[in-house]
Amino acid sequence: MDESITGHIAEVRAFNRFYTGVIGLLDQGMLGTPYSLTEGRILFELDRHGRLEAGELRRLLGLDAGYLSRILGRFEADGLVTRERSAADARRQVIALTGAGRATFKILDERSAEEVRGLLGEVSEEDRRRLVAGMATIQEVLGRAPRRDPYVIRPPRAGDLGWVVHRHGVLYNSEYGWGQDFEALVARIMADYVDHHDPRREAGWIAEADGERAGCVFCVRKDDETAQLRLLLVEPSARGMGIGGRLVDECLRFAKDAGYRRIMLWTRDVLTTARRIYQAAGFELVEEEPGEDFAEQIWARDL
């Protein structure tokens, strides 16, 4: 066995022990009922599908045929399911929930939702996002779920504007040597956005990849007919995924819908990657002012 996997095996087993305790798998019955987790899953699948052949149910859950037959026999005795011969093939059984079965599943479903609600209620919103992203990664890696979209675009929420200032300060200092003066400029832009924000004519977007912030852009009013694209940023770890172009597209779409006739942006000539995104989106250079270390540029396009 590859020695490098040994430590990972121990970590996975430790997580399994922790999580089975969190969700109550060690309890005698599931959620205070006489039913096991496997029995609860059978009720769930029958409620979701309406009717299932016994073979389909067995393959869906990966159960031994004899084990499933014993559970269904118990359910039938308790009045939770009916078992009928398939009209298409008399050798097959079709399983369906009775009214009592649906009521039992409803109890399990409501108790499960309440238990998770209580669990998440003790966790901050930011940690909930990390938790859900981690769970999605587990499903994806182990082949239980289709790969998610590589990123999502959403409106800003609490904490995002501070992140925008912080990441502009850190990234542009490390990549171009721009110091606290540039960070202060970004902070003023964010403060102006909050102080004078008109949601009908101004908006911002945050990109997320794997539950972490990966980029941003803002559309603000320059004048009655002109919008301004500001603060486009994509994290180094998320570059090459098309996030920059998507953020610019969101900005253009919003500006047009908001009634602007033109959109412009200010940038510096050393930001070559951003310039390629702007050119691909139809922006053209309209003004340039040379400086000692870089040239300041104005790009614009009609909407």
What residue spans define the domains of the chain? 4-122, 152-302
SS3 134: helix
- Do 132 and 210 touch, CB atoms closer than 8 A? no
pLDDT of residue 26: 61
The predicted pLDDT at position 34 comes to 81
Consecutive sets of 10 residues in the chain, 303 residues long: mean pLDDT of each? 71 80 66 80 87 85 87 89 80 87 89 85 80 77 64 92 96 92 95 93 93 93 96 91 93 96 94 92 93 88 95
CATH number of the domain at 4-122, out of 2.40.50.140, 3.40.50.2000, 3.40.50.12780, 1.10.10.10? 1.10.10.10
Residue closest to 229 by CA, chosen among 283, 154, 184, 185: 283
In what order do the strands lie in the sheet containing 262-268?
A: 152-154, 203-209, 212-221, 226-234, 262-268, 296-302, 284-289
* Whole-number pLDDT of residue 134: 79
Pair 76, 42: CB distance under 8 Å: no
The angle subtended at Cα 280 by Cα 279 and Cα 285, nearest 5°, is 10
Q: What global pTM score does this model have?
A: 0.58
Residue 267 has a pLDDT of 93
- Given the candidates 1.10.10.10, 3.30.460.10, 3.40.630.30, 3.40.50.300, the CATH classification of the domain at 152-302 is 3.40.630.30
Q: What is the pLDDT of residue 150?
A: 75
Residues in the chain: 303
Predicted local confidence at residue 239, as pLDDT: 86
